[in-house]
Every structure is written in C-alpha cells, then in structure tokens.
Structure 1
C-alpha cells in the first residue's frame, strides 16, 4: 500500500508539472486558430518550416530541466505549428531529471556541461536530418489542420482561455494515467532490476540504455544518470539513453497525432539516434 501511495503521489506531481507548458501550448494553438490560421498557412506555404533554426530552437528549449515542454511540443507538431525536425530536436535534447541528478553529485559538475553540450549538438544535427527524412517518409500535410484537431469540441462557442483549458485538462488526464501505470510497473519491477539489466549488457549497453530511456517516465532518466554518476555505465551510454528520454512527449504524440505510421517513424528514428550516439561517443572516448 505504501508503494502504491508513493506512486500515486509521484504521478500527480510529475503530471502537474506539465500543466503550465500544456496550457501555454494550447493557448497559442487557440489564438492561431481564431486569429491567425490563414496567415500561418500562407507563411508555411511560402517559406516552409525552418530546418536549422527550428532544430536549434527546439534543442535549446528541450535542454531546460523540465518534463512538460516535450509534451507541449508534441501538441504543437500535431497541429503543424512546428515542424518534424523541431519536434525531434526537442525530444533528443530533453533532459528530464538528468540535470538535477547530476547537480546532486558535486564531483560530476564537469560531466553536466559535457552532457548538455553533447545533447545540444546531437539534437540540432538529428533535428535537421529528420526534417529532410520527414519530407519523404512522413505524411504530406504541411498545413495546420485546426478543424480536425478541434472537431466536435465546441471551441468556437467559448473564449480561447476556456478552450485551451479544456484541451489541457484532457491531455493532463491522459498523462496522469500513463504516469500511474508506468509508475506501478517500475515500482513493482524494482528500479534495481532495471539497473542490473543495464549493467549486465556489456557492449550492448547503448542498445539497452536507449530502450530504457524511451520509457515515458522520469524514473528512466534518473536510473541512467545515477548509473553514470556511480561509474556503472560510460558517458556515451548515458548520452544515448538520455537522448531517447523524451519525457511524456512520445506518449502525447500518439494521443494528439492521428497518423500512427508517422508516430512510429518518430520512435524508430529517436531510438536509432540514441544507439548511434552512444556507440560513437563510447568509441571516441
């Protein structure tokens, strides 16, 4: 019972942290829908999504130690306010709990800056590359489809503030449920068993770490960062696992974006980036 109560409390706290980001994202989407949808579509038609600029901005914002921006960015991509490369850069650079955990280890301050720099570089390169790949592999729908996103929700009958609140509440409940389920799974499985799984993988650690990192829960980034801080896994393996740690971003992407094939491409590409990054950094250092 104590474990369940702890999981529920952690799930509520982690989910509440996403609220400001989600509300801000939906408020922006509502404003564009009601006041600037035509201008946005025209701008996208003329200029397209900025690849390098979008990836750089996404990488920088993703590095902020929080777990809500990746979820908000998924909603922005689902309505095509940002491009696929920008969203991928956010996913790769998202640090979740890694930065606070490293700050708790004074002897790892030097590693903190290396981690941030590595994830920034990988995020920009990965985001720009994905924007090119997306042209051929993702669905061809560059314009924001606000009508489909808000179909049947009655947004036109309310202020943008209330409509944004309704959408935020819907996604918040989804995130809360996912956090509860994953928290219970990890709680009963035992974080020590996940740690042992990574420790016993040998040269296959980057593959395992990237897989663990994709768990949409802050526990994954905590486990990976603690293993690195304690010397159990090398720097490259930690970077690879944290590159796939997009927080609740992927879960929200599957909830908000209706194109399953596109979502699976995001997942596969993110995993490949994590594995390749881990292998290359381990080989270099």
Structure 2
C-alpha cells in the first residue's frame, strides 16, 4: 500500500510540474491554428507537386488538426494521396507537447521532427508515384476542412488551450502512474522485453499502437520512449501512424471505405519500414 501511495504521489508531482509548459505550448498551438488555418488551407490547395513537402512541414505542427484538414482536402479532391500520407506521417499529435513539458528531454524534439519530416517527404512522393492508380484522388461534394475546428473562431484560444491541457494532464497522470507502478514492480528491462525491445518487431508493435485514433496513443508512446521502454526507431514508427482523429475523419468524409483501408495499410507499412531502417542503422 505504501508503494502504491508513493507511486501515486510521484506521478502527480511529475505531471503537475508539466502543467505550465503544457498550457503555454497549447496556447501557442491554438493561436497558430486559430489565426493561420485559412492561410494553411489555401496553401495546401495551391501546392501542386510540392504537396508532400508542404504536407510534411504542416503536419509536424503538434496536435492532429492539420491531419483532419488534410483528410477533408483529400476527400474534396484538392490534394493527392501522397500529400495526405505525408501529413499523416509527419503528425505527432500530442507527443511534441509532452516532450516540451519535460525540459530535460527538449533536445530530442528537433531530431524527432527532422526524422518524421524526411520520412514524410520521401514517402509522400513515392506514394504518388507508385499508388496513383490504385488509390485515386476522389472528388466528393462537401465543405472542405469540416470538423477540423478551424471555423470555430468564437471560442478564442485560452479556453481551448485550458481544455486540451486538462485532457492531456489526465491522460498523462493515469499512464504515468500505471507506467511507474509497472517499473517499480517489474523493472524497466522487463517492460522493454514485453514490448519486444532490441528486436525488429518493436517498431511494428509501436506502429499498431499509433493507429489508435486518439491522443492517448501518442501519450503512451512518448512516455514509453522517455522512460526507456521503447527505442527511438520504435517511437518514430508509432508516431508516424499516429495521425490522431485525422484517421477517423478520413472514414467519415471519404465514402470509399476500401480506399481508406488501403491508405491506412500503406501508412502502417511505411511507418514499420521507416522504424526498421532506423533500428537496423542504429539511429
């Protein structure tokens, strides 16, 4: 019982320390999405052959708002499947914000973003070359960027930032408590072994976790990485599939379900291959 209480207090203290960093980060992201979403949408419409590059850069902005926008733009026939894949691969949902909330790990952000952007650009162009016929650009009617939240300007930026901060704090507290309890009982080496650490299968497992269409996936993957339970290559694989609610919106706005399944399958395969390459090269 004493161990349980100690772990609970440690998790609470660790998460409370992160609150100011999380709120400031969310405030910045809300401001970016609030004031630049229309510009971003217009940019995505006009990119043409530079789509994967722009998609990768836009997608690496924390949260999954731009992956939602990309799903809507793809459904409207505005961007190619390669650009959509690039956005999905570059999206890290809440991972960057969680790392920012741990200043001692801040140096990892640049490497992680750079790796994901490079993977997204290369994969985006390859998908447009090899899958253009198999996965065609659809042309469905409907409002572009619906459900992405970029039209809800009346909400301001402070309230959404507070709401996101509270939500992520709860996820972090629950998972940090569970992870710390498991570390105390099993040890970090045992947890890593359970995740098939030091094998080529860990990136495949991490990529499956990333497909969970919820920010909880990025929270789990990031905390596992920061605790040393999974490798850099595995967190990259997991975050490459972690497009958040963008995957749900794709199924909602694009009626061709078989096409959507193909897109997710391609996304998963690319993420696993990228993770394996990083694992085998010792990055």
Band the TM-score falls in, shorter-chain normalisation = 0.5 to 0.7
How much has 1:215 moved relative to structure 2? 0.7
**Aligned-partner Cα distance in 2 for 1:238–1:273:** 14
Alignment root-mean-square deviation, CA: 3.6
1:198 touches 1:205 (CA, 8 Å); kept in 2?
no
Instruction: Return closer, same or farther for 1:236/1:258 CA change in 2, 3 Å cut-off.
Output: same
1:201 corresponds to which of 195, 200, 210: 195
Question: What is the alpha-carbon distance in structure 2 between the residues aligned to residue 102 and residue 60 of structure 1?
Answer: 19
Question: SS where residue 136 of structure 1 aligns?
Answer: coil
Residue 253, structure 1, aligned to residue 250, structure 2: yes
Structure 1 unmatched runs, 5+: 1-12, 29-39, 151-163, 173-182
TM-superposed CA distance for 1:134, in Å, is: 2.5
Residue among 74, 78, 101 paired with 1:77: 74
Name the structure 1 match of 2:85: 88
- Partner residue, 1:37: none
Aligned to 2:135: 138
User: Take 1:198 and 1:79, find their aligned partners in 2: how far apart are those partners?
Assistant: 44
**TM-score with structure 1 setting the length:** 0.66
Q: Counterpart in 1 of 2:156?
A: none
Match of 1:62 in 2: 59
CA deviations on 1:89-127 (whole Å, 9 max, x unpaired) are: 000000111111111222322221110000000000111
1-side partners of 2:123 and 2:64: how far apart? 20
Q: Quick one: structure 1 residues 264 and 226, their matched pair in 2 at CA, closer, same or farther if it must change by over 3 Å? A: same
In structure 2, the residue matched to 1:98 is 95
Q: Is the 8 A contact 2:74 2:84 kept in 1?
A: yes
1:220 partnered with 2:217? yes
Conservation of the 8 A alpha-carbon contact between 2:69 and 2:146: no
Q: Which residue of structure 2 aligns with residue 235 of structure 1?
A: 232
CA-to-partner distance for each residue in 1:175-232, whole Å, 9 max, x for gaps? xxxxxxxx9xxx8xx7448x97974131221111000001111111111111111111
Q: Choose the corresponding residue for 2:266, options 261, 269, 278.
A: 269
Equivalent residue, structure 1, for 2:114:
117
- 5+ residue gaps, structure 2, are 1-25, 153-166, 183-189
Question: Whole-Å Cα distance in 2 between the matches of residues 138 and 276 of structure 1?
Answer: 20
* Residue 64 to residue 276, structure 1, CA distance change in 2 (3 Å): same
SS at match of 1:122: helix
Q: Out of 142, 147, 158, which is 1:149 matched to?
A: 142
Equivalent pairs counted in the alignment come to 218
The structure with the largest helix share of the pair is 1
Number of the residue aligned with 2:275: 278
TM-score with structure 2 setting the length: 0.66
